[in-house]
Structure formats: C-alpha cells, structure tokens
Amino acid sequence: MRYQLMTAALAVTTALQFAGPAAATDLEVTHWWTSGGEAAAVAELAKAFDATGNHWVDGAIAGSGGTARPIMISRITGGDPMGATQFNHGRQAEELVQAGLMRDLTDLATKEKWTEIVQPKSLLDGCTLDGKIYCVPVNIHSWQWLWLSNAAFEKAGVPVPKNWNEYVAAAPALEKAGIQPLAVGGQPWQASGAFDVLLAAVGGTDAFLKVYKDKDAEFAAGPEVAKVFKAADDARKMAKNTNVQDWNQATNLVITGKAGGQIMGDWAQGEFQVAGQTAGKDYTCLPGLGLNEVIATGGDAFYFPLLKDPEKSKAQEVLAHTLLDPKTQVAFNLKKGSLPVRGDVDLKAANDCMKKGLEILAKGNVMPWTDQLLSQDTQKQKEDLFSEFFAKQDMTVEDAQKRFAAIVGSAD
C-alpha cells in the first residue's frame, strides 16, 4: 500500500510541476494511462482541453486500473476529489454515484443531445443510473482480440492462423522454433480477461450472457462451458513460462517476435503503433479470435466528482464537452487504438485492425462486457481463480470449472 501511495504522490508532484502559471481554471484529471501508446493518446485530450483556455493537470497513476482505482476512490471518499477521473463505465463507480459523490450530467447531456450522438446506444447505459447520466464515455475498448506476430509464424514455417483453432494447432511448430506460443502476463486480470474472451469466442455470445448476465450457475457447470475450459487449458499450456508481469511487456514479446500471439484488448494496438509496426504486414489481428466477430462495448469513461468551487464545476462542463468533440474523438482514438464513441466521425486514418472493428460496430454486432455485468467483487474472485489456473498446470479443468460455477452462483 505504501508503494502505491508513493506512486500516487509521485504522479501528483510531477503533474504539479507541469502546471506552471495558468490564469484559467486548473482541472486535475486522474487516469491510469501510462504505457507509451496510452500516454500519447491522453496528451491529445490534454491538448484539446488546454485549447479551450483551461488547464489540464495530469494526474496519471502508474500500475494499471487495479492499482489506480483504489487511490481514486479513497481520494473521492476522503474528501479530496479531483476535477475528473477515468473509470471503466459500468459498475466500478456505482456506489460512488449512489452515495451522491458524483456529479449528475443529465442537464448537459440533454442540452448537447448525447443520446443522439453516442453510438452504440448501450454505451450511455453504462453511464446511466436511475435515469440519470453520470459519465462521459470516451472510447470503445473491446477485449476480444488475438494479436499475432507475422515474423514468429514465418520463422516457425507455418502460415499465420485465421482463427483460434488453427492457432492452437500451430502451437507445437512455434514451440519447436523456440518461440513462446502465447504470451499471458502475470497480472491476474490478464488471465481472467483471456478466459472471458474464450468464453465469448468459443462458447458464443449467448453462452457469455447466460453466464455473466443471468448468472446461471448450472449452465456454467455444464458441458458448453466445459468446452471453453478445454480451450482455456490449451491456452495455459501455450502460455506456460511466459515469465513477464505487465500486459505491455507481454505485448512486447509479440512485437519482437519472441511470442506467437497474445489475447489482449485493442489497447495493445497502441503499443504496436508506438513500435512502428503496420497492421497486416508486421502483425495480424483477429477480432473475436476469428470465431465470433462481436465487439464488446466496454471502454473508458470520465466521471466528474461533485465539486464546491463553481469555477471548477464550469471547467468540468467544458471538459465533458471537449471529450465528445468529433476532433478530439478522432485524435484520441487513433493514438489509443480504440474505437470512437460517435458514429459520425471520419476515421480515414484508421489502420486495418481499427477498420475491422469499425465494420463490426457498423453491423451492430455488439455485446456488453464484464465491467457492466459483474461487480468488482465477483471480478476479483474470477481473477484469483484464473491467475491460479494459468499458473498452476496441475490444477484440473474439472476442478476449475466447479469453482467457476460457484463464483457465478454467488455473483452479484
């Protein structure tokens, strides 16, 4: 804990140094975008907000959402709220909203017709509680991507797979060439997320919703989910000995061709971009693992804590407006590798992978993701289970499925 507070303190002091002399209102914005691609994207938001005459005070918190959220929450509940903060929209900030700590944005939303511009509509649902809107979605991030290194497959002498099954079949060839078939970092959410992706791809959208939305424990213990666990078993065998912790380190294994592929959300794309790689030529992306081309409408959103200072409250409105501005949306999402939240923006500069995503989005093949469906408590239990499952090769598939069904049964 001491370590995390220290990181937070460091982040805040660096932010203060950049603040400089500013006549306009300073608004501190906290977020956990710290990897190369993410930092480049957040700089676009800051630039757009500064252009309105206000000042973006960057409060980056290193160490991914799991580390950052407790710090953000304790600042808000502890009476030292920031001007705006990132969360994944859905249920992460649910109780903060219920406790009246977050600002109601409904008036602004009606004035600027958010319900009309935000596409797909389900995005705003994640921001809505009891008919009131509490956050501004800034991007659509979907987990269901498989990133493959073309160089690695070339070295192994097998064609780049077109779906998960071909990939599993190619694993022995990769291994023989001294390449790690699949990279899964040690952070618990990576193993848990990879399983969710397999559930949506191998099991299908209906199975995913039956487990996570209806919380059907009997179904989760049944034969259809057993197939998914079989796939997860393949995945953990392929991911054995990855020996890295952070997701971007795992992505880096794919970029450098040391690993064949990685199951990771589209935020990984920013890393490929920073490394100067081209989609289709240097790496291949398969949405829905090439089996079930659906995109989850998870993503990032900004929440605005209730502030007393009227100047800052006004600046909050300006920021909310700026975040949804078409120009900001394009600049930010191109750097971030995510999809924009409005359908009316022009993404000519989008690369192959983003175009695949946009196509799926345009077809309306969307589904909700775990951030919207499950509480943090359930997510954490899932993370504990799957990080153990991926690390412990002798844990049986049956045993894991039984425990998974129990978690689903007690989920809220």
Binding site for other proteins (CB under 8 A): 1-3, 66, 69-70, 73-74, 77, 92, 94-96, 99, 186-188, 241, 243, 245, 375-377, 379-381, 384, 387-392, 403, 410
Q: Least distance in Å: CB of 37 to other proteins?
A: 23
Smaller CB distance to other proteins: residue 145 or 390? 390
Task: Locate 166 and state its tokens.
Answer: 């071909």
Q: Least distance in Å: CB of 242 to other proteins?
A: 9
Q: Least distance in Å: CB of 42 to other proteins?
A: 23
Smaller CB distance to other proteins: residue 33 or 87? 87
Three-state DSSP state, 355? helix
DSSP 274-333: HTT--BTTTEEEEEGGGT---EE-B-EEEE-B--S-HHHHHHHHHHHHHHH-HHHHHHHH
Smaller CB distance to other proteins: residue 120 or 186? 186
Smaller CB distance to other proteins: residue 40 or 391? 391
Q: Least distance in Å: CB of 63 to other proteins?
A: 10
Q: Least distance in Å: CB of 359 to other proteins?
A: 36
Please report, to the nearest 10 degrees, the dihedral formed by the alpha carbons of residues 33, 34, 35, 37 taken in order: 50
- Contacts of residue 111, Cβ cutoff 8 Å, sequence gap at least 6: none
DSSP 91-142: TTTHHHHHTT-B---HHHHHHTTHHHHBSSTHHHHTTEETTEE-EEE--BB-
Smaller CB distance to other proteins: residue 186 or 222? 186
Q: Least distance in Å: CB of 382 to other proteins?
A: 10
Smaller CB distance to other proteins: residue 363 or 392? 392
Which residue, 367, 381, 368, is CA-closest to 411? 381
- Contacts of residue 50, Cβ cutoff 8 Å, sequence gap at least 6: 56
CA 159, distance to chain mean position in Å, is 29
